[in-house]
Amino acid sequence: MKLLAIEKKVARGAVRLSGRFLRGGDSKPMEAFFEYPEEFAPLVVENADPFVPALLLPAMAAREPVEIPLPISRRLYRNLPLIQHILSAWYPEALTPVPVRAEHFREAAPAANTGTGAFFSLGVDSFDTLLRHADGAAGGPPLTHLIYMTGFESPLRLGEDGRERPVIAAVQEAARHWGKQAICGRTNLRDCFSLRWGGYYHGAGLAAIALSLARGLGRVLIPAGPAWRYFVINPSNPVTDPMWSSEAQEIIYDGAEYVRAQKIALTLSQNPEALRRLRVCLVTEGGAGNCGFCNKCIRTMITLEIVGALRTCGVFPPRLPRDFWRRLEVTSAGELTMVDGNLWLARERGAPRWLQRGLERAANLGRLEIVRHQRGDVRFLKDLLRLGVERTYGRIRLHFYRQRLRAFKARNAPGQRGR
């Protein structure tokens, strides 16, 4: 994987940072780009840093070395071996460390990058970061920009039907309401590479977008998904996300001290303006609205029911089905942490017993489902049978062991020793 050239070009009301690269075995170069409205041209860099995370993960998947003959951040370059070590340890079946060859480095930071941005998609994590950092009360300077990218939630080619226009309008409306600037751009990273976006790549994708704006944004917050309380392996995480930082920009994984249920209970539920704009659904593939049936919708509705905000929220069905646990498809550790987070909040808030029992059932079934998914149906059934046999046999052996232990204690009791 070799980066051939980069270009920053302003034309037709937009600024585009593009990079031409050549993949191993290909004879024709490809182009990856980040595009923004022309007014944000002063924020966009003209260097190769954004293309380092953009190319590294696909190269690791293809087991190809990375060649970058253009100047890049020395700080970023020094972190690449550890980033690769961590990600390949987490995803050994998909990612392998590869050599990264770079010849020229930059160390001086631009003087004008005083802005603070945050990725913003109208979701729970996004709103939590916005509301806590809107005025700088959470520490550090206040937010100045909200970043939303078409082509991130779904490939750019799927957005050609205009499905993201109402989402962009909602992002811009939220930015105006909270006094921020909305940077609504486009990128084709998902169209360039077939690597699983949600499985391995979206953390590096977020970093690439952030670095493309490093000329004006000295800090970029990535709203936290996995929290420290239920930490699970995720492409975007508090370990590797900050390691993509350069001398010009700090990338910060924000909000990992809160599970998602806490974010709704402590932050969003106190702000009706945020609740009425909330968008969590992935079924729409980048479109507006919430279906009310998918995993993310049901999980969010559960939390809103616990805190008493579901009926007045307005963006979800007003009632949570009593058999909600049947609709939760828990097939990964990450999904299980969301259920556990809701269960923890339900117990803390004294939620109705039917709600707690449903969450307990969803968590228990989810743990079994994860094992079944990992082992396969036949091996899973054999494991269950073996478990039943071993436990039954073990209880019988334990009964006889306890009888022998009681007899031994009786024979060795102080009053029995001299007889």
Per residue in 382-405, pLDDT (tens digit) is 888 887 877 787 777 777 777 787
Does the pLDDT value for residue 338 go beyond 60? yes
Residues 382 and 371 in one domain: no
| pLDDT tens sequence across 277-328 | 999 987 877 778 899 888 899 999 999 999 999 999 999 999 999 999 988 8
Once rounded to an integer, what is the mean pLDDT over residues 31-45? Answer: 96
- Looking at the domain assignment, is residue 217 inside a domain? yes
Residues 142 and 195 in one domain: yes
Does the pLDDT value for residue 9 go beyond 80? yes
Q: How confident is the model at residue 417 (pLDDT cuts 50, 70, 90)?
A: low
Residues 75 and 132 in one domain: yes
Q: How confident is the model at residue 110 (pLDDT cuts 50, 70, 90)?
A: low
Q: What SS3 string covers the chain?
A: CEEEEEEEEEECCEEEEEEEEECCCCCCCEEEEEEEEHHHHHHCCCCCCCHHHHHHHHHHHHCCCEEECCCEEHHHHHHHHHHHHHHHHHCCCCCCCCCEEECCEECCCCCCCCEEEEECCCCHHHHHHHHHHCCCCCCCCCCCEEEEEECCCCCHHHHHHCCCHHHHHHHHHHHHHCCCEEEEEEECHHHHCCCCHHHHHHHHHHHHHHHHCCCCEEEEEEECCCCCCCCCCCCCCCCCHHHHCCCCCEEEEECCCCCHHHHHHHCHHHCHHHHCCCCCCCCCCCCCCCCCCCHHHHHHHHHHHHCCCHHHHCCCCCCCCCCHHHHCCCCCHHHHHHHHHHHHHHHHHCCCHHHHHHHHHHHHHHHHHHHHHHHCHHHHHHHHHHHHHHHHHHHHHHHHHHHHHHHHHHHCCHHHCCC
Residue 111: predicted pLDDT: 58
Residue 329: predicted pLDDT: 85
Does the pLDDT value for residue 418 go beyond 60? no
Does the pLDDT value for residue 50 go beyond 60? yes
- Looking at the domain assignment, is residue 414 inside a domain? no
Residues 23 and 99 in one domain: yes
How far is Cα 184 from Cα 168, in angstroms, rounded to an integer? Answer: 7
Residues 162 and 297 in one domain: no
- Looking at the domain assignment, is residue 296 inside a domain? yes
Residues 308 and 244 in one domain: no
Overall size of the chain counted in residues: 419
- Looking at the domain assignment, is residue 415 inside a domain? no
Residues 239 and 287 in one domain: no
Can you give the C-alpha Rg of the chain in angstroms? 26
Domain count, the chain: 3
Does the pLDDT value for residue 357 go beyond 90? yes
Once rounded to an integer, what is the mean pLDDT over residues 192-213? Answer: 90
How far is Cα 30 from Cα 5, in angstroms, rounded to an integer? Answer: 11
Does the pLDDT value for residue 253 go beyond 90? yes
Q: How confident is the model at residue 206 (pLDDT cuts 50, 70, 90)?
A: very high
Among 254, 283, 309, the domain boundary falls at 254
- Looking at the domain assignment, is residue 62 inside a domain? yes
Residue 419: predicted pLDDT: 52
Among 236, 254, 272, the domain boundary falls at 254
Percent of the chain's residues with pLDDT above 70: 97
Once rounded to an integer, what is the mean pLDDT over residues 110-119? Answer: 82
Once rounded to an integer, what is the mean pLDDT over residues 116-131? Answer: 95
CB of 253 closer than 8 Å to CB of 243: no
Residue 2: predicted pLDDT: 94
Once rounded to an integer, what is the mean pLDDT over residues 34-60? Answer: 96
Does the pLDDT value for residue 14 go beyond 60? yes
Residue 158: predicted pLDDT: 77
Residues 394 and 324 in one domain: no
- Looking at the domain assignment, is residue 418 inside a domain? no
- Looking at the domain assignment, is residue 366 inside a domain? yes
The half-sphere exposure of 226 on its side-chain side, counting CA atoms within 13 A, is: 20
- Looking at the domain assignment, is residue 83 inside a domain? yes
Residues 237 and 330 in one domain: no
Residue 400: predicted pLDDT: 75
Q: How confident is the model at residue 205 (pLDDT cuts 50, 70, 90)?
A: very high
For residue 296, what are the domain limits?
Answer: 260-375
Residues 359 and 243 in one domain: no
Least reliable range by pLDDT among 129-133, 408-412, 413-417: 413-417
Residues 204 and 306 in one domain: no
pTM: 0.87
Edge-to-edge order in the sheet of strand 14-22:
100-102, 66-68, 2-11, 14-22, 30-37, 181-187, 145-150, 115-119, 217-223, 250-254
Among 228, 254, 280, the domain boundary falls at 254
Q: Looking at the DSSP assignment, which residues form a beta bridge with residue 363?
A: none
List of long-range contacts for 309-318, beta carbons under 8 Å, 24+ apart? 309/264, 309/269, 309/275, 312/272, 312/275, 313/275, 313/276, 313/278, 314/275, 314/276, 315/275, 315/276, 315/277, 315/278, 315/279, 315/289, 315/290, 316/290, 316/292, 317/292
Residues 237 and 286 in one domain: no
